[in-house]
Amino acid sequence: MDAAEPASCRPALSPSVRDAEPQIASALIHNRDGQYLLHLRDDIPGIREPGCWSLLGGAREPGDRSLEETVRRELREEAGLELSAPEPFAVVTVSDDGSEPASVQVYASQWEGDPARLPLTEGVMLRWFRPDDLDRLRMLPSTRDLVRTHAADRAAVPSRTVRHGAGAVPHVVGAHLYLEDPAGRVLLGLRHHNSAFAPNTWHFLAGHCEQESAVLCLVREAEEEAGLCIDPRDVEFVHVLHQLPGPGRRPRLQLVFRARAWTGVPEVREPDKCLAWQWWDPDALPERVVPYTREAIAHVRAGRPYSEAGWE
């Protein structure tokens, strides 16, 4: 726990390198007090980060359908810890001395428990630390930088409990397609199992607005993702979800539009993002649906044009 670090704790870090598909998932766990949960690893030669404070996580196994499943499994196995909503935060490339670089998908999640009560099965201990405490810990510089980057992002965005007067924060605007076939079934796409957001989960056809109106964004995404041609004059607004996804993340306006008419049959145009398109009975949706998608479908069917999520 000295400030000086041994050579084994000095990796190469390149947060922007994404040419290697991640096969490792780690959890950046924080609480409402601005502390981060760190894991003191065993000081055993030959293991990754021996004797260092690190993030919980591990390598993907054949049975893991996604990296989110990997991080959830590792947390259960290592600490008996269940997270409600891990969110992709960053992909980093790290190499310990003498090893090949490893690409790591880092998930962020909030947890408010006592680490001393967790049934730790690997390593020495789990403890909460503030970003200012990290210089005195024996840890990878990459882990220290990652924690401080996340802490800075959280400071730049109001938390769930911040009210009026906190300053303007730009919102992310998403355009979503609520499309019904003649039988009243809703079109959803199965997101790729390696997607950073909601892997292996059903979701609206959707996209983020760029330098364009929300309707033109929707028309563009429908053609690019599914080969559907929609006339903007056939698009009508049906719902907006004003969403705060979590601490440290930008608020979002999730706009939902219905297309009264279209041409074409849904087909997979971007297989790296979507694996299939399927029509679903709104009363019998699949188990794995993006939560706000499920909520929006219910609101649209009930004729409610506005809802909120994540705000207090």
Q: What is the mean pLDDT of the segment spanning 86-92?
A: 84
- 164 or 293, which is more confident: 293
* DSSP summary character for residue 34: S
Nearest-angstrom CA–CA distance, 155 and 164: 16
Q: What pTM, to 2 d.p., does this model score?
A: 0.52
Q: What are the pLDDT digits (tens) for 221-268?
A: 999 999 999 999 999 999 999 998 766 677 899 999 999 999 999 999
Residue indicated by tokens 């790591």:
104
Cα dihedral sign, 156-161-166-169: positive
CATH fold of 172-309: Nucleoside Triphosphate Pyrophosphohydrolase (3.90.79)
Q: How many CB atoms lie within 10 A of CB 88?
A: 18
Residue indicated by tokens 């087909």:
267
Q: By percentage, how much of the chain surpasses pLDDT 70?
A: 85
- 155 or 27, which is more confident: 27
The domains of the chain are located at 7-156, 172-309
User: Looking at residue 2, what is its pLDDT?
Assistant: 37
Q: How many CB atoms lie within 10 A of CB 258?
A: 15
Q: How many CB atoms lie within 10 A of CB 293?
A: 23
Q: What is the mean pLDDT of the segment spanning 41-59?
A: 88
Q: What is the mean pLDDT of the segment spanning 96-123?
A: 83
User: Looking at residue 59, what is its pLDDT?
Assistant: 92
Asked if pLDDT for residue 19 goes beyond 80, the answer is no
User: Looking at residue 1, what is its pLDDT?
Assistant: 35
Contacts of 154 (CB under 8 A, 6+ apart): 30, 34, 247, 248
The token pair that represents 169 in the structure block: 């924060």
Architecture of the 7-156 domain: Alpha-Beta Complex (3.90)
The token pair that represents 51 in the structure block: 């004797």
What are the phi and psi torsion angles at 149 (to 5°)? -65, -45
Asked if pLDDT for residue 99 goes beyond 70, the answer is no
Mean pLDDT of the chain: 84
Q: What is the mean pLDDT of the segment spanning 139-154?
A: 86
User: Looking at residue 193, what is its pLDDT?
Assistant: 81
Q: What are the pLDDT digits (tens) for 186-201?
A: 999 999 887 767 888 9
Nearest-angstrom CA–CA distance, 140 and 6: 10
What are the phi and psi torsion angles at 294 (to 5°)? -60, -45
User: Looking at residue 162, what is its pLDDT?
Assistant: 41
pLDDT bucket at 163, cuts 50 / 70 / 90: very low
**Angle, CA of 60, 129 and 198, to the nearest 5°:** 35
